[in-house]
Structure formats: structure tokens, C-alpha cells
Amino acid sequence: MAQALIDINHYLDRVKPEKIDPLKEKEWVADTYDYCDIHGEYVSSERRGLELRGIPQCPQCAEESRKRARLGGLDGIAKRFQRCSFDNFQVVNKQQSVIKGALLDFAKHFSNHLEMGTPVLLLGGVGTGKTHLASAVANKIALEGYDTIFRSVNQIIRSMRDRWGQSGGEEKLLDVYRSVDLLIIDEVGVQAGSDNERNILFDIINSRYEEMKPTIMISNLDLDHFTKTVGLRIASRIQHDGLTLVFDWKDYRKGA
């Protein structure tokens, strides 16, 4: 019994408040380790003073899982562009650097642009990286939990026409296009340019303009031909208090 009392007193003496470093007490330190088949060894539990907490999963696997869940907010980005980022966009001249910087800033401060409804118009020839950078924006903001719909203009027009005659179908789809955080419309200018197409596109652009939702439109046309194709009403709204960026360099894909 005497020995037991000595052991208890010795333990209590060790954990008296004056014996504990208050700075170290605030920090979690590694206690045990486990092994991940993908990422190798990781800390599986930590302690802080008398507290102990477990880490049941490899932190890198957990973060990758969270990223995949957040990327579930992306709709319509083709497989080729799902890995597009600002880091893997090739910059070979100053103009490319400026445009990349402008779109990176747009993505970094998307919460502000979502509040202001900032529109973006990307113009330039084929193969100049417009779709890459638009996809990079979508991929980056998806990691912050924002939703994006990425469609070609023909896909949008077909989807609206497919719902003609359905009870409320057209309005429901319009509401989807209206309410998503970011709508990206690619290949503007390849459509026939009929009044019907302009009206469908105007309904979508105008509804987002009124709701102050950011829209990115991408076209291989110059500004004059873009305006003639979509009409002045759309051209005016997509440029109002927004960014118009011209990709004025040669096709990346030639000679690749």
C-alpha cells in the first residue's frame, strides 16, 4: 500500500500545473504512426498534454476525397480539359501572361465577382488557350465549393429546344442556367445565328445579367463579328462592367 501511495504521489507531482509547459500544452504532437499504401507513413494519433486524438485516415487521401467531392459541382467540362489549371497553361509572351493573370485574379476573387455579376468575354483564334483558361477558372473555383455549368452554345440551344412542349420543362432548364454560380458558354459563333437562337441565348444571358451572375462566353470571332452574330443586346450585357480579353496569338496546336 505504501508503495502504491508513493507511485500515485509521484504521478501527481509530475502533472502539477507548475510542471507543465503552457506553450507545449497548446500544441498537438505526433503520438503514433500508420502507413498509407499511396502516400506512405502518416501520423495516426496526436497528443496534447493528457489529451489524445486519433486520425483515422491518411490526411492526403482525405484531402483528395474532399477535392473530388467539391469537383462534383462541375458540369460539362470535357475530359481533355478536366485537368486544365493555371499552372499548366503555357506562357510564351507577355500578352499571355497578362490574360492568364487577369483570369487567375478572377478565380481567386470569385466571391467578389459572384456578388458583382462580373461577365467575361474571351475572343481569339482557334487553339489559343481560351477553353483551357476558362476550364482552369472552373476547376479552381470548384475547389472553393462553387458550381459551374460548361456548355457549347449549340448544346445550350439544343437543350432548350428539346424541352419545347414539355410542361414547365423549358422554364425549369432556364432556371438551372440562370441560377448556377458560373455559366461558361463555348464556341459562340458556330451556331447559325438565327433569330430563334439569339432569343434563346438572350433569355439566358439576360436572366443572369439581371440576377448578377457571372457568365464567361468564348468565341473564335473578333468583337465586330461576335456582336453581329449574337446581337447587340447580348454583346452589350456580356461586356457591361466586365472583362473582354483577346487571345491574339498563334494556334498552340499547330506543329504540336
Whether residues 92 and 189 share a domain: the answer is: yes
Q: pLDDT (tens digit, 9 = 90+) per residue, 155-199?
A: 999 888 888 777 667 788 888 899 999 999 999 987 666 788 889
Q: Domain of 202? A: 74-249
Q: Are 156 and 177 in contact (CB under 8 A)?
A: yes
Whether residues 43 and 123 share a domain: the answer is: no
Residue 62 counted as domain residue: no
How many structural domains is the chain composed of?
2
Predicted TM-score of the model (pTM): 0.69
Whether residues 95 and 142 share a domain: the answer is: yes
Whether residues 241 and 153 share a domain: the answer is: yes
Q: pLDDT (tens digit, 9 = 90+) per residue, 109-158?
A: 999 999 999 999 999 999 899 999 999 999 999 888 898 999 999 999 98
Whether residues 11 and 114 share a domain: the answer is: no
Instruction: State the amino acid at position 4 in one-letter form.
Output: A
Q: Is the pLDDT of residue 4 over 60?
A: no
Cβ burial 123-136 (10 Å sphere, 16+ → b, else e): bbeebbbbbbbbbb
Element (H, E) at 256: none
Q: Is the pLDDT of residue 219 over 60?
A: yes
Model pLDDT, residue 47: 86
Whether residues 44 and 145 share a domain: the answer is: no
Of the chain, the percentage scoring pLDDT greater than 70 comes to: 80
First and final CA of the chain: distance in angstroms?
A: 84
Whether residues 81 and 52 share a domain: the answer is: no
Whether residues 13 and 100 share a domain: the answer is: no
Model pLDDT, residue 38: 76
Model pLDDT, residue 97: 96
Q: Are 117 and 205 in contact (CB under 8 A)?
A: no
- Non-local CB neighbours of 30 within 8 Å, separated by 6+ positions: 43, 45, 46
Instruction: State the amino acid at position 30 in one-letter form.
Output: A
